[in-house]
Amino acid sequence: MCAFTRFQRFRDSGFYFNPRRAFGCCPVINLPFPLYLRLQNRFLRHIPINPLTFTSMYPDFQYLLQALFGAPMPDWLGLFKTFGFLVALSFVGAAWATMQELKRKAKQGMFVPEKQTAILGLPLKPSDIVVSAIIGFLVGFKGGGVYGRLAEVSPDPMGYLLSAKGNIVFGILGAIIFAALKYYEGKKAELPEPKTVTYTIYPHDLMTEIVVIAAVGGLAGAKIFNAFETWDDFIKDPIHNLTSSSGLTFLGGLIVATLAFYFFARKHKIPFAYLCDAAAPGIMLAYGIGRLGCQLSGDGDWGIYNSAYVSNPDGSLRFVSPEEGLKAMQILPPDAPHAYFHAPFWLPDWLLGMNFPHNVGHEGMPIHGCVGEYCNVLPVSVFPTPIYEAITCILLFFVMWALRSRFKRTLQMFGFYLILVGVERFLVELIRVNYKYDWGFIHPSQAEILSVVLVITGIALLLFYKDSKPSSVAQQQ
């Protein structure tokens, strides 16, 4: 088989994570071919792994592992959503990048360590046991409540966690276990004579608090701004919209998380500007990884319709003429925005038109012969904007990471980040489906407005902002 034929098969079938099935060589893990061949013959041929593609969605780990191994998987795996997993992974990536930057800035003398004192060996307070018992009750109440109602909980775990449903017996058992463990730990740590110790705390030692603030502030802001962006849907069912795992506006999360970081920095006497610069590359990485979660789950965060591709009853896509595309669009709302764009020979079709089969939002028409929780597919393809943003933002992270030591003035890195994320989001909004504001001669979306504000702010920081302090806070103090 010639190389071009192999390329065509790869292009038309979607991106394969299994290199030996796609090319017969090793383009992904980048091993020398003789070494890869020996590894393949010794290990890979004994593992029955199927290729995964971007042309199908994997809303939860049950779907993901079934597609990967080609065998039925237990239902409880449906509790673990791919979107939630990748969001958690995005926080891990952002925490790692931010910690590295905070450590680098600490070595440069930009932070003055905070002195904290603590008294060790004090007797355990009754309130500590009560708090542990409450936490244990909630864990047992919700965790035990999954037993017997797995089919009900699996489609919407977040809605279940925020509901009043659970298991009282398991809740009481959890409270007893957590209270007993807390009592045992307290007695073990108690000293005959308590002693006072002093700690030296740098900002990178507070990463746990920083991650919690980013998670709470970011998710709260993303939900609040998404409510304004999709106001008509929000007022129909506000509780579901606020508790659903989908429907997040990144720019809103960025704004609220930044405000939360400002008060956190004031509390711990950390220069807020340095914290912004340190967090900027990690935020870009987190956004890119999070968009991979949108892509794999098919959460509805896609672009406008591309009428060049229409879905078959079995969920596959076919290329159609402009006339056929317009005919297929008739089943959709009359005002649904769309374009007709066929992928050139050197691009895979799925990169310009995807119908998101088995999407987590149950959007579209039923898939013929499908059995399971997620059996819907869009009737007409859409532009897969999440994968555009994922690739772009991960590449931009590497650009920012390579340039991070070249920015000498405070807030230059953060300003550079604001420009990049603003331009990226403004461009992708041109082919995304979002609520448009009627301003007479223009009709921008919320994200377009915020993107322009971010770009202007970033340019102002790069061109006009001057440090009000010396480059080293340690020198000042």
Phi/psi of residue 16, nearest 5 degrees: -95, 130
Contact 88, 292 (CB under 8 A): no
List, for residues 293-346, the tens digit of each pLDDT value.
999 998 888 999 999 999 999 999 999 999 999 999 998 988 888 899 998 888
Quick one: average pLDDT of 164-188? 93
CA dihedral for 118, 122, 125, 128, sign (positive or negative): positive
CA 100 centroid distance within chain: 21
- Residue 26: the pLDDT is 38
Please report how many Cα atoms fall inside a 13 Å half-sphere around the Cα of residue 134, on the Cβ side. Answer: 6
- pLDDT of 51 above 70: no
How far apart CA 358 and CA 336 sit, in angstroms, is 22
Tell me what pLDDT residue 72 has. 87
* pLDDT single digits (tens) 84-133: 899 889 999 999 999 999 999 999 888 888 888 888 888 888 999 999 99
Closest-CA residue to 290 (of 16, 91, 427, 425): 91
Beta-strand pair 338-339/305-311: parallel
Q: Please say whether the beta carbons of 375 and 367 come within 8 A.
A: yes
- Cβ contact 420:392 at 8 Å: no
Q: What is the pLDDT of residue 312?
A: 93
Asked if 151 contacts 82 with a C-beta cutoff of 8 angstroms, the reply is no
Helix, strand, coil shares of the chain, percent, nearest 5, are: 60, 10, 35
**Residue 436 DSSP symbol:** B
- State mean pLDDT over 176-191: 92
Res 50: pLDDT? 53
User: Would you state the pLDDT for residue 452?
Assistant: 94
pLDDT at 215: 84
Per-residue pLDDT tens for 202-212? 888 988 888 88
In terms of DSSP bridges, do strands 305-311 and 365-366 run parallel, antiparallel, or are they unpaired?
unpaired
Pairing of strands 114-120, 195-201: antiparallel
The per-residue pLDDT for 403 is 94
Write the burial class of residue 145 (CB in 10 Å: 0-12 exposed, 13-18 middle, 19+ buried).
buried
Distance of alpha carbon 302 from alpha carbon 272, whole angstroms: 35
What is the model's pLDDT at position 6?
44
Candidate from 6-10, 306-310, 351-355, 437-441 with smallest mean pLDDT: 6-10
pLDDT bucket at 384, cuts 50 / 70 / 90: very high
Q: Is the pLDDT of residue 44 over 80?
A: no
For 235-263, what is the mean pLDDT?
A: 74
CB atoms within 10 A of CB 451: 23
Cα torsion angle, 362, 364, 365, 368, sign: negative
Percent of the chain with pLDDT over 70: 83
Q: Which two tokens stand for residue 234?
A: 């929000």
pLDDT band at 149; cut points 50, 70, 90 = confident
- The pLDDT confidence band at residue 164, using thresholds 50, 70 and 90, is confident
Looking at residue 441, its amino acid is: F
Instruction: Say if residue 227's pLDDT is above 90.
Output: no
